[in-house]
Amino acid sequence: MSELSFYEAIDWAKLFCGVETFHRKGKPGSEQSKAAWNEKAPSFAHKPVRSGYIAQLIEAMNLEEGETVFDMGCGPGTLAIPLAQQGHSVCAVDFSDAMLAELERACAHVGVPHIDGDAMAETLANVADLPAGTVVSFRRSWQQGWEGLPVADRAIASRSLIVDDLADALGKMEAHAHKSVAVTVGAGDLPNLDARIFRAMSRDPYPMLHRELIYLVNYLLAQRRPPKIAYLSYPGRWHRQTRDELEKAIRLAHAPKNDAEEAALDAYLNEHIRFSEEHGDYELDYLRDERWAYVEYDVAN
């Protein structure tokens, strides 16, 4: 077997979908998962805008004037609305009713034209058929059929590639993009994963913090779809309303495997958890540079 054949024989898609992340509630696309995202919707409305993530993401996308975007897992419109304000029409897709309700409210608040795509009398074939700067939204999950959804120039899944079939998910995005597909995945410290904590437990943090990026890029390379990669980073604060909530979240994310790791984690938390007078909650006593990878590849025509 040649080196390339051996490389291609690895099921990178299965490895990607096998990554367990503690914040996922229920199987992707399930009613349990939808309920969890519905609950999170109000708090998600402006968080990425405040962090600077969206500004860096739009810069990495490097859209040409008038290009249209298919935004899968759009949430409350944190990417779709700024794109529309720059004159790009956007097809915004999410399976969470509450997220789409937040999107509609936010569009009305800032004066961005919004259309409920599921209520349209006729099928919209191409996002370019909309007036510039319009957001059209649809209720769909990764697992549902995407028949009737319009095609755009570029398709993106921003921190939303939570799927049980990577090949199917990317294939659907490719079918709804004329030019390119892009996703963002973790590539270092994340909102709920911390390299310092892994090191305190004498564990190598690299595999945990880069698994999705490693599997995704290798999958694309094995499929002859070489991607371009850019990195987005910004300072992040890990915090919760109570100390117990913060400790529980950290333990769940970093999962000590034995008594030694448990003791090391206890000592670390006792040293670094503090009450923030400024924010009125409990936090780790340092900021971290949260880091994401923007991975984009051209769609074969």
Which pTM does this prediction carry? Answer: 0.90
- What pLDDT is stored for residue 33 in this prediction? 62
Q: Which residues, including other chains, have CB under 8 Å from residue 36's CB and lie 6 or more apart?
A: 25, 26
3-191+204-237+287-298 fold: Rossmann fold (3.40.50)
**How many residues are present in the chain?**
301
- What pLDDT is stored for residue 9 in this prediction? 81
| Rounded-to-integer distance, Cα 287 and Cα 191, Å | 11
Q: What is the DSSP letter of 64?
A: P
Averages of pLDDT over runs of 10 residues in the chain (301 residues) are 69 88 60 61 55 92 97 95 97 94 94 96 94 97 95 97 94 98 94 93 94 95 94 92 95 94 97 96 94 95 61
- What pLDDT is stored for residue 22 in this prediction? 44
DSSP of 104-157 = HHHHHHHT--EEEGGG-SS---BGGGSPTT-EEEEE--SSS--TTPPBEEEEEE
241 — phi, psi (to 5°)? -65, -35
| Rounded-to-integer distance, Cα 77 and Cα 290, Å | 21
Q: Which residues pair with 135 in a beta bridge?
A: 90, 114
96 — phi, psi (to 5°)? -90, 120
How far is the CA of 295 from the CAs of 25, 72, 193, 211, 269, in angstroms? 25, 15, 20, 14, 34
Q: What is the DSSP letter of 285?
A: S
Helix, strand and coil percent figures for the chain, each rounded to 5: 40, 25, 35
Q: Return the closest-CA partner of residue 294 out of 235, 234, 231, 214.
A: 231
- What pLDDT is stored for residue 300 in this prediction? 78
Contact 223, 170 (CB under 8 A): no
